[in-house]
Amino acid sequence: MKTIFIVDDEYSIVESLTDLLVEEGYRVASAINGREALAAISAMPPDLVLTDLMMPAMDGRQLIAAMQGDPALREIPIVLMSAASLPRNLDEFAGIPVFRKPFPIDSLLAEISRLLGATPPA
């Protein structure tokens, strides 16, 4: 069973995504900011990280940079989600799928399946 780590400071989003991903057969862990997430995923790396951009303590941009700078974490697929305006130049997120909130759940699930090398849910 694949593990997805959700990082978002909005409880309702974490709860909704957790319910959805558990129904899809994933194990889910979560954190409310990048600092908490980095400590947890360093101790037990997940198969994929789904992170918000705007959070307190350490935002998604900082979390992504920290993960990409760590040889033990840099290969973990990341999906970025945000309700905030994204910069026009997304070069810093090259290779990272970006979902603008609210996003179509089917598209998110298909992207997660693609990144984990699984068949998307029917």
| CA gap 100, 78 in Å, rounded | 14
47-97 pLDDT, tens digit each: 999 999 888 888 888 999 999 999 999 999 999 998 776 555 555 566 788
Q: What's the confidence (pLDDT) of residue 120?
A: 47
Q: What's the confidence (pLDDT) of residue 122?
A: 43
**45 class by beta-carbon count within 10 Å (0-12 exposed, 13-18 middle, 19+ buried):** middle
Average pLDDT, the chain: 88
| Predicted TM-score (pTM) of this structure | 0.89
Pairing of strands 27-31, 3-7: parallel
| Structure tokens given for 23 | 């129904």
Q: Does domain 3-115 have CATH number 3.40.50.2300?
A: yes
Query: Which helix H or strand E contains 88, and what residues bound it?
Result: none
24-60 pLDDT, tens digit each: 999 999 999 999 999 999 999 999 999 998 888 888 8
Question: What is the sign, positive or negative, of the torsion defined by CA atoms of 65, 103, 45, 38?
Answer: positive
